[in-house]
Structure 1
Amino acid sequence: MTAPQPVNAYILALPNELLEEVLSPEVREERHYDNTKIGIVTLCSVSKRFRDVFLRHLYRTIRYHDIRNMRPFLDVLRFRGVQYVVHLDLVLHPILCVPGYDLLSMLDLFLLSLPKLEVLQSLRLDIRPTPRDLEDSYTTVISVVERAPADVVHLSPEVVNTLNSVFQTLPQSLRSLSLSGFCFEDATAGLAATEFPSLRTLSLDLNGTGDPYIVNRRHFLRGMPRLESIELPVQWCPRRTLFRRVFAGRKFKHIKIGFTGRMRMSDTDTHEDHACPWNRCIVGLLRQSSSILTSLNIGTISLIIPRKVAFPALTSLTLLDIEFGFNAGKELQALLAPFLSSPLEVLEILECHNLPAVLVGLIDTHWPKLRKLSVSELTTVKDEYDPPDLYPYLRCLGDDAAWDAETRRELEAICEHRGVDAWLDWGYADLPWRD
């Protein structure tokens, strides 16, 4: 006769696959998940196998943006599950008159955790040099900090030295590095002095409006032999010769120019007020990568790509946060002209204001392989075929700002006929005012 087994023996026999179901996205989205987490923490004490299974999921992705409690979080980061972290996203923002909330102290704490981040694959580090008042840290939501333009204030020499140490201590397995919030030139020295043998993606949402001689003095891509995706800011005025040296022989599969949701003044998105080779440099980089470039994100109307530059491998194009002017139709046609012969499968036009209706004709006559279309910020007017309960926005519209209902339905019909998976974010408005 088999001897009775203790109760916990049945629990210990549970397979890993069943344990992982407790942490499935469906379970984590339930409103009682907080109670479930209490049980998970209890199960972590049952056995090392349970602890490894649960912590590997719980700590896989950490997105910590609470600037009011960042110091306590950094204090415990190196003790709790840090060896399981794969994706880490931090915002470091100093708070005035609070000991330990200066950038140097917080970066030092983060540096202490890095040797244990052995499986880290992606890091986003947003550093804001400008201090905030304590009251501001309680009244300002973190999304405002994220959407603000990168600071023009330089990091102190001590902070730059510590940041360089952070770069040099990052694990060799790192595949994605995203830096934002501070000045471009404060990052280049550390990047140039560090080897990133596994890095595939580099995102630089930084302020590059400082001295271009300082920014370009360092060959900051030197230690990234496997880099295939790069994101560069608009606010960067590089010297052409040094830009060529940094990007000599480099070809990228994915390129992003500009960043969305910046809440910036319009003059920071242009290089027209001074002699600047920015556009020529970026076009040169695109031309150099054109044969293998598969996805491109453009977040500025300032980028002018000659029509003769072809992109035979491009399958995904995204336009982000672009405001079209009085000649919106011509601007959009000029922006899309180099891509009309590309084998696009995905087209996204997001947060672009005053998007003209000429887009419909371009989609109708080009990109036969298009399978996904996403467009937000679309404005149209209702007609007698629309539901009567549609309530229009109370705002003034120019002649080209709102699409008429016939054009709206034409775009929807094209997508339906061609089997395009379309997400069209329509907003309904009053008819444009006319004299």
Structure 2
Amino acid sequence: MKKAFALSAFVVALVGCKSLVEKGHNLFEAGMYTQSAEYYEQALTEDPHNVEAQKGLALARNKILDKGLIDVRMLRLGGNQTGATLKLESLLRNQIDWQIEPFGAIASTQREELGYATQWLTQQAKQLSQSHYPDKFRYFEHSYAFLISNAQLDPLIANYRAPLQSKAHAQCTQMVSQATQSRFYLRQFAEKYCMSWSLPQNFHTMNEDPTRYSRIRLSPDFTIKLHQTSRQATALNTASLAFKQIFRESLWYSPIGQHTFDLDLTANLEHSRNVKLVSRQKHYTTVEERVNPHNPKDKLEVEVKKAYSYPVTEFTEHFSIDAVYKGVVAKQHLEFKVDDSQTHYTQSHYADFPQLGISPVQATFLDVDMRLDKQMRVLQSHFKAQLERVWEDTHCNGLIGAQHGEYILRCGKIDPKNEFVNSWFIKQFGLAYNEMAALYAL
């Protein structure tokens, strides 16, 4: 039996894999090379030794590379050398990931575009080395690391980087002077910044942050009335623990936080199922042969009315849940409530009388687990959103320009596209928030 099951599973997997390869072939023929490659990759995930998928993936990736190089050329000829170089950088990264070595016309095109890109990189490096903002040069290195290495420009980059050290030192010194004991985000950023430029500073240990929380104290109050099982009670307790995890993953939590966050979680869960056994009856007419009372030797067909009786079990379910959380963070009240209720009727029987359209029926009960899980996920989602909203209200609105960048950094965590945040970073470092975040893991 086990061997038969294993063989059946293998056949199903083989058919599924073949279908994925066929879809890959169809997309390849339609010129949709990226999508076809995805199907070949899925097929190889199911069967790593599928030769057709291996060949298809190699062809698709070569086509992606070929088309990508054409895009590079068109961008360059259109005067967008920055876009062309970024595209070429991406293609080189893919080649390394895919372990592809271009050949023929593709290799020739790539060499030509690498030549143009090298010229542009050399010009950009010289220009950025004279910039007032050392991090613009650093981001340039980060963005084109593969091309710089491929074009063997590392010695040139190193020569340009050295004079920028003094400018970075000035920036480091300024941030260190502003990063007082209470400016935690600015201090963390200053530490990363100075160390990245090989300018270590002696910072005092940060012991407590009065603006954040190191603990969450959850106070659950559950009223649970269930008809038969305690599984939902366990699920409710498990779901309540997710609130702790959501808070720990929020920006409000820090090991050096000074406060304890108190959250009250109240839930009333009821599920009852009433059972009733009833008798159903269905009338029908049939034809039977009877003896002719006037001529006993003769028989007559007579219509006879009959009733078919069968037992039916009727179920009536009542389900309801009311749940609410309440808490205060940064002097702002958090609260949200969900409720759901339903009365559901269903039945079951084993009667089987096809002539009357009667067949066995199985009862379909409410999926209480699903309904409970749905409402708790809604509650958790709102809790997460409210924590983010309060952080934004606290650190983005009104106070964003205070404390020499402390609130800028805090606001950027939740709103990296904030206009004020980006204007501050551009003014200070010549780069937008996301660009600096890529360099210093903000």
Confirm or deny a common fold (TM above 0.5): no
TM-score, structure 2 normalization: 0.25
Select the structure that is richer in helix.
2
Q: Which has the higher contact order (CA 8 A, sep 6+)?
A: 2
| Greater Cα radius of gyration, structure 1 or 2 | 2
TM-score, structure 1 normalization: 0.25
